Amino acid sequence: MITQKGQSIEDKSMEIIDSEIGPHSYSPEEWIIVKRVIHSTADFDFARDGKIVFHKDAIKNGIDALQKGCNIIVDVNGVIGGLNKDNLQRFGNQVICSISDTKVVEEAKKLNKTRAQTAMRMAAKQMNGGIVAVGNAPTALLEVIQMIKESVTAPALVVGIPVGFVCAAESKDDLRGTDIPYITNIGRKGGSPCASAIINALFKILSAKNSKQ
């Protein structure tokens, strides 16, 4: 639970972001998400050259899935650390990260794949109707895209924002070329804090909608 002082600092940060970005083309709900990513990284590029991109059904699918208590499958433990635990408890969402599981490590060695790839493949059933959040490993995102093409799994939303020099930008290009509801960005930038920020922002939108009902 954020303290009053903490909330004051966050509110001031959001005001600074608004003032420095100025006019933009994002919808109000999209801007909540973009602004949260900028807040978590202090990087305005996420609203400019490396901008965040939304599938037309991304936000609706995401908040509907969270409302239903969907699983959230992440590629690395760093994403878990940034998630708002109060929201997870409130809506009953289970966060799944199996990259360090013994079975995953053994299977990855056997198949000569990355642990991130293998962890995603082994979580196929748990992804159905859930949200996949990839903040670190491009191979995890590419594996999820391939699984969906194979009809092995059907997540409600893919948050694909891995960081890096090898296949990071390319994996996001592939994601934007699909019909999968997605939230991603352009280029090499990304990271676990970005993935966490996007999920937290979706919870924020959901909580605001529920408070109006």
Domain boundaries, the chain: 4-212
Could you tell me which CATH number the domain at 4-212 has? Answer: 3.40.50.10230
- Residue 121's closest CA among 90, 150, 93, 160? 150
- ∠ Cα 38 192 173 (to 5°): 80
pLDDT, greater one: 3 or 145: 145
pLDDT tens-place string over residues 6-64: 677 888 888 999 889 888 999 999 999 999 999 999 999 999 877 999 999 999 999 99
DSSP reduced 3-state for 192: helix
Active-site residue set: 39
Among residues 196, 207, 202, 201, which one has the least CA distance to residue 95? 196
How far is it, in rounded angstroms, from Cα 15 to Cα 84? 21
Task: Say what the pLDDT of residue 192 is.
Answer: 96
Binned at pLDDT 50, 70 and 90, residue 5 comes out as: low
Burial of 20 (0-12, 13-18, 19+ CB in 10 A): exposed
Q: Torsion over CA of 17, 93, 209 and 48, rounded to 10 degrees?
A: 30
With a cut of 70, say whether residue 1 has pLDDT above it: no
Summarised one tens digit per residue, pLDDT across range 158-176 is 999 999 999 999 999 999 9
* Average pLDDT of the chain to the nearest whole number: 94
